[in-house]
Amino acid sequence: MSIQEEAGLILKLYELRREETLREARDWYFREFNPQSMADFSGAIMGDHSGHLRMVVTYWDMAAVLVNRGAIDVELFNDANGEHIMVFSKIEPLLDEIRKAYGVGFAVNLEKLIDATPDGRKRVAGTRERMNAIRAQLAGHNAQAAQQSA
């Protein structure tokens, strides 16, 4: 496949990310979905946001297939995208348990892409640490604001 065709696929993936329902799902995933335990994950997958969770993970798992099968070069894909790293960082610590409970194929293509990415697991861990630090900082600001308004 030519680089122009690969670029076209990346642009198509971007276009799909702009679809309204997927935008809502991604917004929920990044703002509200922060599973710390299997109970948190199960609550989400069986709750009101089940569709959002499944939509985000399966979107990036599908995109990963294009890379894993050679339709898009891994370096080109990673140069144009980073969201898949964030998506995987939220589920990686629970992945074995998730697969035992919900199926061995859950996010398998996304994991394969992460492992094919230079320093992929390090990038995932670093992203998770940064997101946890941001959440902690926001919680601190919110607590301080609540004390000041009380």
| pLDDT tens per residue, range 99-146 | 999 999 999 999 999 999 999 999 999 999 999 999 888 887 787 877
Report how many domains make up the chain: 1
pTM of the model: 0.91
**Residue 142: domain span:** 3-149
End-to-end Cα spacing for the chain: 61
Q: Identify the pLDDT of residue 71.
A: 96
Q: Identify the pLDDT of residue 112.
A: 98
d(CA 110, CA 95): 11
Which ranges of the chain would DSSP assign to H, the alpha helix?
3-17, 20-31, 38-45, 50-68, 74-80, 83-91, 95-102, 108-116, 120-149
Q: Identify the pLDDT of residue 138.
A: 86
What percentage of residues in the chain have a pLDDT greater than 70? 100
Q: For residue 138, which amino acid is it?
A: L
Q: Identify the pLDDT of residue 141.
A: 78
